[in-house]
Amino acid sequence: MEIKTLAPDLSVSPQLTAQDVGIAASQGFRAIIINRPDHEADDQPYHEDIMAAAARHGLGVRYLPVSPGHLSAQDVENFATAMRELPAPALAYCRTGTRAVSLWALTQAGHLSTDAIIKTAAAAGYDLSGLRARFEPADTQAHHGNGKSPHHEVLIIGGGAAGIATAASILKRRKGIDVAIVEPRTEHYYQPGWTLVGGGVFKREQTERQMAALMPKRATWLHTACAAFAPEHNEVILEDGTRVSYQVLIVAPGIKLDWDAIPGLGATLGRYGVTSNYRFDMAPYTWQLIQSLKRGKALFTQPPMPIKCAGAPQKAMYLARDAWRRGGVLDAIDVEFHSAGGVLFGVQDYVPALQQYVDRYGIELCLNETLVAVDGPAKTAYFDVIGTEGQVRREARPFDMLHVAPPQSAPDFVRQSPLADAAGWVDVDGETLQHRRYGNIFGLGDAGSSPNAKTAAAVRMQAPVVAHNVLNVLDGNAPNAVYNGYGSCPLTVERGKIVLAEFAYGGKPDPTLPSWLIDGTQPSRAAWFLKEKLLPGIYFHQMLRGNEFLARPRLLPHRPTAHEAPAACDFETEQRRG
């Protein structure tokens, strides 16, 4: 809990948990103000849980949600009223604390000097200089863009695998370039490790690093979230309403895990035997359940594609089955794999090896079955099952353990933006990863529309391509580095063995190593060694530092037509203008 004091009666902090509320009470806070709407992140507590915790500790509480980038005059008035009515001192929070600080600052406009407001916020670690114009007395109403926009040569949205790897690759190529990364989290996760946490191989701490430690030293970290895009002005809008302009924008905010799309799931996770390796805090629970289950039924589910790491739902299942085999309880536990898809794995070359494990482990394959609801207390999952004639029927399945891979989609602020394609992803060319309409925008990682497997392995190949092409665009040239759609999925079929699927666009196998070392279509110990011992190091020490290990981009001598338009050009508008 990082609490920053702004005034005697008000402090702010990033997201609180119910437990933090108790700590805040013990530190003398008498009220909580919740400025973060529910559903912004998959691991965020619901406001009702925070309100209940506040009530338990005898604190006043007010839910005043503010959407990122939409801080209205009414929001400011509500905040001022809450400050007047609630017992002091109060602790206000949102995702990072930025919205809470901005609300406080706007209540002070006209009372404190603009410099004093900005200095106080800065002392607490928040840069509100982009809101300067709104603090002037005549301009405390909500509107955007009156401040002088901060500007960066290259602005990156998202400090995950893709954002940091690309920033590092750009900075390696060009020393003095001005790169900024917008990233709200203080922790960075090595998500490929979560399968091993759920399988009892890694401790979850091995998959977590402080974001500050991974940010490239010469990049500026804007510790806040992006709320919207204004590509026609070469600007993004941050969650406090500040606009930041850029010469080139790289969009890499990952994928949205939609836990609430399945009624009952969000409230049940972590209890009643319901778990998911798709969450840092749940993966240890998966291993706990595997160890404690001695008999009964375990269900593993896979939602419709695309999802990140399409093999992850199966990996969790094989490792569980292997642990039960080793524990001598294989026959006492029935396992069903419910997949919304019609095949076991999307790339046919790897299916025979996987099918052998399905048979050996006695797993019941339930294809074309989509999880639609979970009743935790009744330990029952509901599926929509597509019959042979295409008819859909709903079926209830009891369980003792349920591992869920949630439905996934493009982040809302991308889906609702001019950057999105029809499905909501950042609309990029599959080879250059340049936006199809805005020549000075690139997209990569899970949020991009390129039809590859959404994996960190794909990002490892994409980041150097984007880094090269971004510099080309800044230099007035056409992008000429191309990505071939490479993605990889190490399927942990048993502890100590992996089927290493590596493939490019069109499902074409694309192995990195010679087959005498690793034959990806067969389970192998060498591939397990790679996954457990080498890949985390390659991720943290090579990829995130711009060392393009086995990932130098392929360059074309000349890149034709559509992408040769000048930077910052909206191609469609240009065409309409004739």
Positions touching ligand FAD (CB under 6 A) are 157-163, 182-185, 191-192, 194-195, 225-226, 252-254, 277-278, 308-309, 312, 411, 413, 445-447, 454-457, 459, 488, 490
By beta-carbon proximity to ligand FAD, the closer residue of 314 and 440 is: 314
Helices and strands in the chain, H and E counts: 18, 29
Q: Are 286 and 277 in contact (CB under 8 A)?
A: yes
Closest residue to ligand FAD using C-beta atoms:
160
Give CA–CA dist 455/501, Å, rounded.
12
By beta-carbon proximity to ligand FAD, the closer residue of 308 and 397 is: 308
Question: Closest distance between ligand FAD and the C-beta of residue 44, in Å?
Answer: 12
Q: Quick check: helix, strand or coil at residue 450? A: coil
Question: Closest distance between ligand FAD and the C-beta of residue 77, in Å?
Answer: 26
Question: Closest distance between ligand FAD and the C-beta of residue 192, in Å?
Answer: 3
Residue type, 450: S
Question: Closest distance between ligand FAD and the C-beta of residue 202, in Å?
Answer: 12
By beta-carbon proximity to ligand FAD, the closer residue of 108 and 195 is: 195
Please state, in angstroms and as integers, the Cα–Cα distance from residue 573 to each residue in 423, 436, 437, 477, following that order: 21, 12, 9, 21
Q: Are 518 and 350 in contact (CB under 8 A)?
A: no
Question: Closest distance between ligand FAD and the C-beta of residue 226, in Å?
Answer: 4
Handedness of CA 118, 217, 16, 150 (dihedral sign): positive
By beta-carbon proximity to ligand FAD, the closer residue of 195 and 449 is: 195
By beta-carbon proximity to ligand FAD, the closer residue of 151 and 185 is: 185
Give CA–CA dist 248/566, Å, rounded.
12
Residues 6+ apart with CB under 8 A from 503: 347, 349, 453, 485, 486, 487, 488, 509, 510
| Pairing verdict, β 363-367 and 333-339 | parallel
Q: What are phi and psi of 254, to 5 degrees?
A: 75, -160
Question: Closest distance between ligand FAD and the C-beta of residue 429, in Å?
Answer: 17
By beta-carbon proximity to ligand FAD, the closer residue of 121 and 182 is: 182
Question: Closest distance between ligand FAD and the C-beta of residue 227, in Å?
Answer: 7
Q: Are 489 and 310 in contact (CB under 8 A)?
A: yes
Burial 382-395, CB ≥16 within 10 A → b, else e: bbebbeeeeeeeee
By beta-carbon proximity to ligand FAD, the closer residue of 250 and 298 is: 250
Question: Which DSSP string corresponds to 80-140?
Answer: HHHHHHSPSSEEEE-SSSHHHHHHHHHHHBTTB-HHHHHHHHHHTT---GGGHHHHSGGG-
Question: Closest distance between ligand FAD and the C-beta of residue 176, in Å?
Answer: 25
Peptide bond between residue 68 and the one before it cis (omega within 30 degrees of 0): no
Give CA–CA dist 174/7, Å, rounded.
43
Quick one: how far is CA 93 from the chain centroid?
Answer: 21
By beta-carbon proximity to ligand FAD, the closer residue of 160 and 439 is: 160
Query: Catalytic residue numbers?
Result: 309, 489
* Residue reference for tokens 């339930």: 366
Question: Closest distance between ligand FAD and the C-beta of residue 458, in Å?
Answer: 7
Report the DSSP beta bridge partners of residue 547. none
| Pairing verdict, β 401-404 and 296-302 | parallel
By beta-carbon proximity to ligand FAD, the closer residue of 62 and 308 is: 308
Residue 151 half-sphere exposure toward CB, CA atoms < 13 A: 6
- How big is the chain, counted in residues? 578
Quick one: how far is CA 222 from the chain centroid?
Answer: 17
Question: Closest distance between ligand FAD and the C-beta of residue 457, in Å?
Answer: 4
Residues 6+ apart with CB under 8 A from 490: 192, 311, 315, 498, 499, 500, 501, 527, 530, 531, 535
By beta-carbon proximity to ligand FAD, the closer residue of 82 and 238 is: 238
